[in-house]
Amino acid sequence: MKSKDHSPKIIESHGLTTDEYNQIKRILNRTPNITELGIFSAMWNEHCSYKSSRKWLKELPSNGDQVICGPGENAGIVAIDKKLALAFKMESHNHPSYIEPFNGAATGVGGILRDVFTMGARPIAVMNSLSMGSADNIKTKEILRGVVKGISHYGNSFGVPNVGGELRFHTTYNGNCLVNAFAAGLLNRDEIFYSKASGVDSKIVYMGAKTGRDGVGGASMASESFDSDDERNKAKRPSVQIGDPFLEKKLMEACFELMRSGCVIAIQDMGAAGLTCSSIEMGDKGNLGIYLNLDKVPLREDKMTAYEIMLSESQERMLAVIKPGHESLAKEIFNKWDLDFAVIGNTTPEDKLVINFQEKIVADLPLKCLADQAPQYDRPWTTNKRSRSYPELPETSIKDAVEILLSSPNHCSKRWVWEQYDHMILNKTLKRPSLDAAVTKINDTNYGLAFSCDSNPILCSIDPFEGGKQAVAECYRNLVSSGGTPLAITDNLNFGSPEDPVIMGQFVNCIKGIKEACIKLNFPVVSGNVSFYNQTDGKSILPTPTIAGVGLIENISKQSLGWVNKDDFYYVVGTTNTKATALALITEVSQAKVEDVNIKVDLEQEKRNGQFILHLFSNKLISNAHDVSDGGIALALCELALVNDLGFEVIAGSLEYFFNETQARYIISVNPLKENQLTSLAKEQDIALTKLGVAKGAKLCFGSNILTLAHVNDLYHNVISNMMENKNNLN
């Protein structure tokens, strides 16, 4: 298989550096042909190899009594009890969603669902974390509309509830939106399936949809930066996959039937890099070689090359290693579901990936060098010096400050988004998207599951270490606020170019913050994803490490659904530091870049206060709990009022008191008859507890600063819909 040397342009188009290309030639002791070059390109890019992040990801804690399966598989798994378990994962589909919003976002949902059911878990919930450009940008609205439609189309059609998520706007996402998709599924602990191949000459089978040219080069494209030339970006559309949720539903049921049949040795979805990545990963984990005959692969387009077949990212496809002699049974199952099925290869004892096409060997590569032995980089990184000059609060009244926050696209209701999703399908959703964490019920049990995803990119840009800690801590508080004991997290780490020491420094320090928080809170990382090169014309997005967490509610009768009763007393749990920065308020009012903040995450307080809240729920001493985060006490109170359609009267206080963003705090509501029990218990456990006021009436009264509930409701709920309907005269 002699091949002439490839041009620098070809090498660059495959996302390989000159050094990497020369390394490939040394490994092979020859020049790779174009198919082999494509395989190396797919496996050595950031999306598949994690070459710039592996060193640091190893630092994250992934063990715990509750952990069954940690990072390295399609999804992480935690135990619910001795029988049940939960599989979950979050992944990015950022670049595809910017290029082709509808299909990019839709296939992001499809891909994360496959990650979950590949483990043998039936999906029960999805969420999405969306970061969009400036709210007054026409392109932003186009992308947001397409992304939400894509998510809705796939999730609603597949039949899985979309129970929560987040949406933010910032100018740094103008040329590179973020679409992070989360999914969770239930399974029995003794019915978990992994991707590790075993046994020499075990058959490799292809299942699902036919292979086309859509998505060729998608994994490599995900590791590229954008530029401001829309035409060049549009030219990348063929690298975006096209999904079919109804076909994926059939594929899932067929895979479950195959799993129950006892045929499966290993199974892997064909996601990034398609057949290339799925086959190599299964072989690598099992220390086996792989032989593939591409003439056996079901195709839906004529004259496809070996390069295209290996790198296609056509959706709704799976690869499995099955037990010898079970081919007919497996084929029968997939025929019944009217899905393609073909034996396309087998495992081998040698460390090789051998590919046959049209009766020729078109690739003959050492397998390990494509996977576990792919390049790893220890990128240089630096930590930006902070000014230690904290911003001053704007000169405004509490009333005006509340109106500013509630009418901001970043802090208003996201109802326009989640009303397009079916969050009640399966009829197990107990708490719809609103405050804190979503809650679903587990069939035929008293268990509930809480789900939340969180990030604070502005804080991460100013102080990556504290920002990383804060993202974990806020996720923890949101789960606790819904009555869930936090179990574990999955992360989606979105950053600019790792080749920039400043950006790499943001990544490293965020990792360090996440690590510290996870260890202290016993909140291990069991799965995740890194998305680098999120930038346009060299301008990076804000560092956006998204944390998605799951929590267990052992008795759903003791959960919090967010309801506050008339005449309930409001209390703040946790110590308030009035010198802590009111970051949300300052950012929204000044629109200026904040250079430094006084926001510290006290993890000991987070843990103590969280355990206290869970104790209150278990003893039914409170009606509700709500996390205090962006916007401080003021925004938290307003959110409770708006969700419950019930006003409040609280103590007079300063801007510093109501809007500072001291961490480790909750607002709780308690029946007056249980007030003495609450205060006695707080004193006994040395928990800071401050009475705020009472829930009542149709006004929001911060001392003498008064807003009507009707006015605030109009501000809060109509911002996004007005923006999308061009009612605000946005450019």
Catalytic machinery residues = 47, 93
Count of helices and strands (H, E) across the chain: 25, 28
Contact 636, 695 (CB under 8 A): no
Instruction: Give 483's contacts (C-beta < 8 A, 6+ positions apart).
Output: 439, 448, 450, 553, 558, 559, 560, 614, 617, 625
Max CA pair span of the chain: 85
Question: What phi and psi, each to the nearest 5 degrees, are found at residue 648?
Answer: -160, 160
Give Rg (Cα) of the chain.
26
Query: Own/partner pairs for 18-25, CB < 8 Å, 24+ apart?
Result: 20/44, 20/375, 23/375
- Residue from 270, 354, 267 nearest 306 by CA: 354
Print the SS3 string covering 534-549: CEECCEECCCEEEEEE
Burial class (CB in 10 A: 0-12, 13-18, 19+), 717: middle
- Say which DSSP state 71 is in: B
Strands 122-132 and 264-269: unpaired
b/e burial code for range 560-583 (CB count within 10 A of at least 16 → b):
bbbebeeebbbbbbbebbeebbbb
Strands laid side by side in the 544-553 sheet: 429-431, 438-441, 448-454, 544-553, 485-494, 525-531
CA distance 689 to 668: 10
Residue 96's SS3 state is helix
Instruction: Give 120's contacts (C-beta < 8 A, 6+ positions apart).
Output: 87, 187, 191, 192, 193, 256, 259
Question: What phi and psi, each to the nearest 5 degrees, are found at residue 182?
Answer: -120, 145
b/e burial code for range 96-114 (CB count within 10 A of at least 16 → b):
bbbbbbbbbbbbbbbbbbb
List the end-to-end C-alpha distance of the chain, in Å, as a whole number: 57
Contact 672, 621 (CB under 8 A): no
Residue with tokens 């190396």: 40
What crossing angle do the helices spanning 245-260 and 101-117 adopt, rounded to 10°? 10
